Amino acid sequence: MSQKQFLQDIEKGYTFKGKSITLGAAMLNGETQANALVKLPLRTLNRHGLIAGATGSGKTKTLQIIAEQLSANSVPVLLMDVKGDLSGIGVPSDGHPKIDERHEAIGIPFKAGSSPIEFLSLSDEPGAKLRGTVSEFGPVLFSKILALNETQSSIVSVIFKYCDDKSLPLLDLKDMKKTLSFVMDEGKDEFQKLYGRMSSASIGAIMRKIIELEQQGAEQFFGERSFEVDDLCRLDENGKGMVSIIRLTDIQDRPKLFSTFMLQILAEIYATFPEEGDIEQPKLAIFIDEAHLVFKKASDALLEQIESIIKLIRSKGVGIFFVTQNPTDVPDAVLGQLGLKIQHALRAFTAKDRKAIKLAAQNYPLTEYYNVEKLLTKLGIGEALVTVLNEKGIPTPLAHTMLRAPQSRMDVLTEMEISAILGKSKLIKKYNEVIDRESAYEMLTEKIEEFHKEEHQAELKKQQEKAKKSRSRGRGRAEKSTFEKIVNSTTTRQIGRTVARELTRGLLGVLGIKTTRRRSRKSSWF
């Protein structure tokens, strides 16, 4: 096919009626075609997307480009910053001759700019704290996070019902653990009368799962004050979409916490946001960097839940973009829901890598202009294969694209710059106040204390009654014993004296004779 035909196809495929953002310029035979601009229509960005590529291929900068362009078009953005290198979006680029050279080849001028940012945190990283209560998760989602079986999940549902019936707020994990402990011990009889018997082995298994989640730092996430997802949809005073950056640099080794948080946020957004239908641009765009952490060690039930939310949440006007090294990091069921695909270079070092590249090539529309499988290993830094859904929902022609440079800084902010942003934050003042109101833990602790107090008093009363009966019986025996002693003593003395007299008589009968004889003898001597 000719270059002219190629340019016509690109122009036709990437021209949209509504708003769009420019990603870069198309390339053919390794040459950038100036003004053959590759654009992304805002109208279909709620159909989600994938940004993939090997380490160092430029996928994080592609994320930065799209995020800042969305912000400039009044679309709020949520960035999950696992590596800690996205904060630079908050300040303008310092510029560079290579940036000017790139933009000249693309055919658009470079203009430095920045986006309003807000730092959020799940852990000890500075920023507004993200929290959610156990009750807000609900029994189904909470069970799936813990990877419980059907029997254990039914127990969790009954526990939630019990807490609702008894007005016991389930705010954090210690509330849940206390409730499990209570219904297995002090409140066992009451609970069984209302809801039936439960296996102590199943309750013990649920307890161990909760402790496992705690060990990944989840106790910092469960609790109050709950984060309101509407705060993710703010605009600044200039009408730019706020870019909320969640600092996740210290939870890379805690994938369960990461997936738990992401799923809760998506579930809360789906439950809270109204149905929007087809809108001109997203209400919120969410970028999940290092997305393999979401799916790593995730149970089948959790993956099923993610898939369901991905399918449904687009009707709320929310677009979700996964950023990862290889498309195979994302389950096929989720991958099939992604309308935007941006593929950076892949590296083939092993037979497994070559197989993965072959599979990745099959995810893109057929094209007469590129050998996709070969091109995937030859893409330069800042180059990518791009396809997106047009305004009619049809995939655009595959375009080997020279990407524009981010308008913001391609580096992290300094500690001083971060501190300045944190000092201006309204959300930190709102969410960093520690709230530990009375909940299931305190209520059940008080109930257990009352239970043990009543039990102690009942036992004490029982012992007192027993002692009283014992004393009553003791007095009767004591009186009888005294009488018996008196009678027995008198009788013994009488018998003793009789026996003594008889013995004396017997003895004196002999002794008397001898004594008389001795006396008579004695008298004859004098």
Report the SS3 class of residue 189. helix
Query: How far from each other are the two terminal CA atoms of the chain, in whole angstroms?
Result: 175
Task: Return the minimum-mean-pLDDT range out of 217-226, 305-314, 336-345, 485-494.
Answer: 485-494
Where does the pLDDT of residue 479 fall: very low under 50, low under 70, confident under 90, or very high at 90 and above? low
pLDDT in tens, 34-51: 989 999 999 999 999 999
Question: What secondary structure letter does DSSP report for 477?
Answer: H
Task: Tell which phi-psi region holds residue 125, choosing left (phi > 0), alpha (psi between -120 and 50) or beta.
Answer: beta
Whether pTM exceeds 0.75: yes
Assess whether the previous peptide bond of 225 is cis (omega < 30° from 0). yes
Average pLDDT over residues 145-169: 89
pLDDT in tens, 365-383: 888 899 998 999 999 999 9
Where does the pLDDT of residue 458 fall: very low under 50, low under 70, confident under 90, or very high at 90 and above? low
pLDDT of residue 303: 79
Q: Is the dihedral of CA 119, 120, 124, 125 positive or negative?
A: negative
Q: Is 286:22 a contact under the CB 8 Å cutoff? A: no
Q: Is 246:78 a contact under the CB 8 Å cutoff? A: yes
pLDDT of residue 514: 40
pLDDT in tens, 421-442: 998 898 998 888 777 666 666 7
Q: Quick one: tokens of 280?
A: 């001109």
Q: Which residues contact 259 (CB under 8 A, 6 or more apart)?
A: 145, 293, 294, 295, 296, 298, 302, 306
Where does the pLDDT of residue 109 fall: very low under 50, low under 70, confident under 90, or very high at 90 and above? very high
pLDDT of residue 454: 58
Where does the pLDDT of residue 449 fall: very low under 50, low under 70, confident under 90, or very high at 90 and above? low
Task: Return the minimum-mean-pLDDT range out of 204-213, 239-248, 303-312.
Answer: 303-312
Q: Which residues contact 226 (CB under 8 A, 6 or more apart)?
A: 131, 132, 133, 136
Q: Which residues contact 11 (CB under 8 A, 6 or more apart)?
A: 36
Ordered strands of the 20-28 beta sheet: 31-41, 20-28, 399-403, 383-387, 340-343, 49-52, 318-324, 284-288, 77-81, 243-247, 117-121, 128-129
Strand residues in 326-421 grouped as ranges (E): 340-343, 383-387, 399-403
One-letter-per-residue 3-state SS of 217-238: CHHHCECECCCCHHHHCCECCC
Cα separation, 60 vs 44, in Å, equals: 21
Residue with tokens 């009186």: 479
Q: Beta partners for 402?
A: 25, 383
Q: What angle do CA 144, 145, 146 make, to 5 degrees?
A: 90
